[in-house]
Structure 1
Amino acid sequence: MTIPDFQTLMRPVLEHLEDGCIRRSRDVKDAMAEEFRLTDVERKAMLPSGRQRTMDNRVGWALTYLTQAGLVSRPSRGQVVISDVGRAALSVNPGRIDMKTLESYPSYVEFRERTRKAPVPLPSVAVAPIAEATPSDLIEQAVSTNRAAVEGEVLQSALALSPTGFEDLVIRLLERMGYGKAGSVERTSASGDAGVDGIISQDPLGLDRIYVQAKRYAEGRTIDRPRIHEFAGALLGKQGDRGVFITTSRFSTGARQEAERINARIELIDGPRLAELLVAYGVGVQVEQTVTLYRLDEDFFDTL
C-alpha cells in the first residue's frame, strides 16, 4: 500500500484516539503505519530533505490540523488525546474527515484566517489555486500555513506553563527581541513586586525602565479596562511611564481604550500577537527545514 496523504489519515487517527486514552504522538505514528500495512521500505521512506520519515510527517500534519480544529488536544509535550468535539465528529461524519470537514469548526476557520494574515516579518501571502501557482507561490503558501499552525501550537504550550513559567517565557522573548541589551531584563514577581512581573532596564544604571506584566489566562478570557487601570497604577507607583502587558488571552475594546487614554505608554500584546512574536524570534520553536529556489542567470549566459 502507498503512503497515505495527511487528509486520508485524519479519520483513522481520530478513531485510534477514540477510547480517550492519552497517547504519545510517536505511538500514533507507529499505529498508523500498522493500520495502513506499510512495508519496511515505505516506513523508512524519507522526505526529500532527509530530516524526517514521510509517514511521520503526514501523521504529524493530520494531528496538527485536527488540533487546530479542536478535535484533538495536546495535554503535555509529545502527547495527544481526542476531545469531546473530536468524538462527536466521528459520529456526525461517518465517512471521510478532511480539511473540508474541518471548515465547519470555528477554531479551524480562525486558523485558516491566520494563514492569510501577514506573518511576522514575512509579507502577506495570497492563496492561489495549485494549478495557477508558481513554485514560489507554493512555498510561500506552505510557509504561511506552517507559521499559522506553529503559532497555534506555541500558544497552547504557553497556556500549559505555570504562571512563573509563563513569566520566564515572556522575559526570554523580550531578551531575544533585543530589549535590555545595554542593561537587563529580569522577572520580579517572585520578589512580591505588586503589579509588575518584570523590569527592562535599557541602560546599565537602570534609569530608563520599561515595566512588564505577564498574565497567562485561558484563551476565552478577556482582559478588561480595570486590569489596565491597575497596571497603570503600578507604573505610577514606580514613577514609570512605559509598560508592556502581555497575555495569552485577549483585550476588550475598553481595555485598549484605557491604554490609549492614560498618561503613560502601555503596549498591549494579546495571545495571537504573542504567538507571532515567539515564532518570529525563534523562542520555543526550531527550524525544521529550509528550501532554496533557483532561477536562470541570464546575465551569465550573455557573457559566454
Structure 2
Amino acid sequence: MSIPDYQALMLPVLRLAAAGERRVPEAADAVANQLGLTDTERDELLPSGRQRVLHNRIHWAKFYMSKAGLIDSPARGRFVASETGRALLHTNPTSIDVETLKRYPDFVRFYNASSEGSSAETPATGAAAEATSTPEEQIDAAHAVLHAALKAELLQRILALSPAFFERAIVDLLVAMGYGGSHEDAAQRLGRSGDGGIDGVIDEDRLGLDRIYVQAKRYAPHVGVGRPEIQGFVGSLVGLGASKGVFVTTSSFSSPAADFVRHLPQRIVLIDGNRLAELMIEHEVGVRISRSVEVKRVDEDFFVDD
C-alpha cells in the first residue's frame, strides 16, 4: 500500500501518543508495522532527499494536532497525548483530520493566522492540498515543476542559437565541472579540431595528465543519436589511441547506442539533453538564482534548561 497522507496518520499517531511518550522515528516504525509497509515504502524519501516521507508526514500530523492541543511535548524530541487528546480518543473517532481540529479554538486561531500570512495556498489554507501534502512536499513539488521548466527552456535556448554557442556552452560546463584547466586552455582545444569525428579535446585535470575527447551534436528533440554515430566516434578515439570520450547531444540516444558503449574497453560517457540541462543547473552554467527560500526549524540544542 502507499504511505497515507498526513491527515490519515493523525489518528494512529494520537493513539500511539496516548500509550506513552514517543519520538517520531519510534512512531514511524510502529505505524509502518501497523500498515504493513514494505522496506521500500519505509525508506522512501522526499524529492529533496533530506527526509523520509513517512517521518515527514508523522511530524506534520503531530504538529497540527499539537496546535489543537491534542499533543503535548514533555521533553526534547518527544510527544505524548494530552488530556484533550485522550478525551477525543474516548469518543472512538473513525478518523482525525483538519476539519476535526477546527473544533478546537487554539487550532482555529493558528489556522486563521496561517491563512492571513500567506497569499498562496498551503496545507493550512488549501483544501485540496491539505488532504494530501505536507508543506515540505508542496515545496518539493513546486521546485520539481520549476526545475523541469528550467531544463526545457535551457535546451530551447541552446537550439535557438548557433553551433558555436553550443560549443562555448560545453566549454563553460566542462570548466565549471573542474575539467580543462583554465577557461582559456579549454576554449583553445574544444571546438577547434573537427577531425575524424572529434569536435575537440580537453584536459581531464589541470596538469594535463589525461585527455578527454568530445563530440557534440546540437540536434532537435525528435532527432536522436544512433549507434552508427557512436561507432564513428569510438573509431576516431581508437585511431587517436584515446581511452576516454564524451558524446554530448541536445536530444537523446537510441537504446542500441546506449547498449553499445556499455561493452567497450574505452570509457565513453553519453550526455543527452536532459542530463546536459541537469548539469548546467547543478554547476550554474547559463542559470542564476532568482529566489531563495529558507526553511528553518527550532534549534533543539538551544532550548535546554540547565
Q: Provide the TM-score with structure 1 as the length reference.
A: 0.55
Q: Which of residues 168, 173, 191 is equivalent to 1:189?
A: 191
Aligned length: 186
Q: What is the aligned partner in structure 2 of residue 248 from structure 1?
A: 250
Q: What is the aligned partner in structure 1 of residue 222 from structure 2?
A: 220
Q: Tell me: CA distance 1:248–1:233, structure 2 relative to 1, closer, same or farther (3 Å).
A: same
The answer to whether residue 275 in structure 2 is matched with residue 273 in structure 1 is yes
Instruction: Decide which moves more: 205-214 or 265-274.
Output: 205-214
Contact kept? 2:218, 2:251, Cα under 8 Å = yes
**Alpha-carbon distance, 1:211 to partner:** 0.5
1:199-210 maps to which residues of 2 (within 5 A)?
199-203=201-205, 206-210=208-212
Whole-Å separation in 2 of the counterparts to 1:262 and 1:137: 42
Whole-Å separation in 1 of the counterparts to 2:209 and 2:296: 50
Contact kept? 2:214, 2:246, Cα under 8 Å = yes
Q: Tell me: CA distance 1:182–1:170, structure 2 relative to 1, closer, same or farther (3 Å).
A: closer
The answer to whether residue 132 in structure 2 is matched with residue 130 in structure 1 is no
**Alpha-carbon distance, 1:289 to partner:** 0.5
**Alpha-carbon distance, 1:136 to partner:** 2.2
1:143-158 maps to which residues of 2 (within 5 A)?
143-158=143-158
Whole-Å separation in 2 of the counterparts to 1:167 and 1:293: 38
Whole-Å separation in 2 of the counterparts to 1:203 and 1:275: 23
Whole-Å separation in 2 of the counterparts to 1:165 and 1:181: 20
Contact kept? 1:182, 1:202, Cα under 8 Å = no
Q: Tell me: CA distance 1:191–1:232, structure 2 relative to 1, closer, same or farther (3 Å).
A: closer
**Alpha-carbon distance, 1:258 to partner:** 1.7
Q: Tell me: CA distance 1:209–1:285, structure 2 relative to 1, closer, same or farther (3 Å).
A: same
Extract unaligned runs of 5+ from structure 2.
1-45, 54-122
Q: What is the aligned partner in structure 2 of residue 16 from structure 1?
A: none
The answer to whether residue 100 in structure 2 is matched with residue 174 in structure 1 is no
Q: What is the aligned partner in structure 2 of residue 3 from structure 1?
A: none
Task: Give SS of 1:301's match.
Answer: coil
Q: Residues 91-141 of structure 1: CA distance to partner in whole angstroms, max 9, x if unpaired?
A: xxxxxxxxxxxxxxxxxxxxxxxxxxx98xx53998x96204332222222
**Alpha-carbon distance, 1:205 to partner:** 5.7
**Alpha-carbon distance, 1:208 to partner:** 0.7
**Alpha-carbon distance, 1:285 to partner:** 0.8
Task: Give SS of 1:211's match.
Answer: strand
Q: Residues 51-91 of structure 1: CA distance to partner in whole angstroms, max 9, x if unpaired?
A: xxxxxxxxxxxxxxxxxxxxxxxxxxxxxxxxxxxxxxxxx
Task: Give SS of 2:301's match.
Answer: helix
Over aligned residues, Cα RMSD in angstroms?
2.9
Q: Tell me: CA distance 1:228–1:192, structure 2 relative to 1, closer, same or farther (3 Å).
A: closer
**Alpha-carbon distance, 1:185 to partner:** 2.5
Code of the aligned partner of 2:216: A
Whole-Å separation in 2 of the counterparts to 1:137 and 1:168: 37
In percent, how many aligned pairs have the same letter? Answer: 45
Question: Which structure is higher in strand share?
Answer: 1
Runs of 4+ deviating beyond 6 Å: none
Contact kept? 2:155, 2:250, Cα under 8 Å = yes
Contact kept? 2:220, 2:250, Cα under 8 Å = yes
Contact kept? 1:198, 1:212, Cα under 8 Å = yes
Q: Provide the TM-score with structure 2 as the length reference.
A: 0.54
Q: What is the aligned partner in structure 2 of residue 292 from structure 1?
A: 294
Code of the aligned partner of 1:170: I
Whole-Å separation in 2 of the counterparts to 1:162 and 1:195: 19
Q: What is the aligned partner in structure 2 of residue 303 from structure 1?
A: 305
Extract unaligned runs of 5+ from structure 1.
1-117
1:11-22 maps to which residues of 2 (within 5 A)?
none
Whole-Å separation in 2 of the counterparts to 1:156 and 1:182: 28
Q: Tell me: CA distance 1:293–1:204, structure 2 relative to 1, closer, same or farther (3 Å).
A: closer
Code of the aligned partner of 1:244: V
Q: Tell me: CA distance 1:292–1:179, structure 2 relative to 1, closer, same or farther (3 Å).
A: same
Q: Tell me: CA distance 1:237–1:291, structure 2 relative to 1, closer, same or farther (3 Å).
A: same
Whole-Å separation in 1 of the counterparts to 2:178 and 2:280: 13
